[in-house]
Structure formats: C-alpha cells, structure tokens
Amino acid sequence: MRRAAEQLDLSLTPALLPAGLSEETYAPIFEEMKASGADGLIVGPSAENYTYRQTITALAARHRLPAVYSDRGYVVQGGLLSYAPDFFEVFRLLGRQVANALDGMKPADIPYLQPTKYLFIANVKAAQAIGLTLPPSLLSLADEVIE
C-alpha cells in the first residue's frame, strides 16, 4: 500500500486505535482524521473494526470521508467500497487443507494456499450521500453494485 501511495504521490497516515476499543472511541479518531485534512480512509480487517462497522460507516459518512473497507459487510451497512478476498474461496481452500490434514498429510507437506479471487463491491447510495459520483468505468469493474 505504501508503494502504491508513493507512486500516486499520496501520503498515508495511520489512525492509531487505542486498546480496548468501544463504540465511543471511534468518534474522536474520526474528528482527528478530519481535522488533520484526511481525504479518505482505508479500514483494515480487525475484529474490532468489524464489530463496530455500523459506527465506522456512519462516522465516515458524517465526516464525508470516502472509505475502502476490507469486507462486504461494511458496504452493506452503508460504506462506500470494499475490496476483499472472496470468502467462499477462502473457506474452500481451508477445507482442502483440513482434508489434507485429515488424510494424514504431514503439516510441513500441506501447501500454503492464498486466495486468488477478490471481490470489489460499490455502494452508489453511500457515494451520493458524501457528494461523490462513482464513474461508470469504476462501476463496470464491480462484482456487486449496491444501489
């Protein structure tokens, strides 16, 4: 991500999350991001973020911050975009590895598998709510478009 940002002449600033997150701890983080001039947001795949996805997507909309999320659930909840592995494929690969282990394959011989299929989901309504228009060329690349 850093390499891509450098190539596009963008700067990345991490929003440091405190230990023991709660719904209330996200609001000051968003205030700080907006005050510092953030133009967008990338939300990582932590369990805490997913637990509070409704809060995060609402705060991103309130602060008019375009955001890319690590799971479709955020976009269904009102987030703008997600780009993430296809979890059906992930579980299929995991099933193959479990089957290998149950068939007696030594752990060192079980191949390391990574997902190769990623899904891009776009939410047109969320874009309109923050004053963005998603271009047709971008929407044509989406695996799913939420109106």
Domain-embedded: residue 19: no
- Across the strands, what pairs with 69? 82
Total count of domains within the chain: 1
Instruction: Give domain status of residue 63, yes or no.
Output: yes
Distance CA 84, CA 132 (A): 22
Is 20 or 123 the better-scoring residue by pLDDT?
123
- Residue 129: φ, ψ to 5°: -65, -25
For 73-90, how does the pLDDT look when each residue is reduced to its tens digit (9 = 90+)? Answer: 999 999 999 999 999 999
| Domain presence at residue 17 | no
Query: Each residue of 22-67: pLDDT tens digit?
Result: 778 888 889 988 898 888 999 988 888 888 999 999 999 999 999 9
What is the CATH number for 53? 3.40.50.2300
Sign of the dihedral defined by the CA atoms of residues 46, 48, 54, 60, in that order: negative
pLDDT at residue number 116:
93
Asked if the model's pLDDT at residue 15 lies above 80, the reply is: no
User: Does residue 133 sit within a domain?
Assistant: yes
77 in a structural domain: yes
Give the range with max mean pLDDT: 33-42, 44-53, 107-116, 123-132: 123-132
What is the band of 133 on the pLDDT scale with cuts at 50, 70, 90? very high
21 is a domain residue = no
Q: Is residue 81 part of a domain?
A: yes
Residue range of the domain that includes 130: 39-86+118-146
70 in Cβ contact with 56 (< 8 Å): no
Mean pLDDT rounded to a whole number for the chain: 90
The pLDDT value recorded for residue 1 is: 78
**pLDDT of amino acid 19:** 65
The DSSP secondary-structure symbol of 107 reads G
Entry pTM? 0.81
Distance CA 134, CA 112 (A): 37
Q: Is residue 50 a part of any domain in this protein?
A: yes
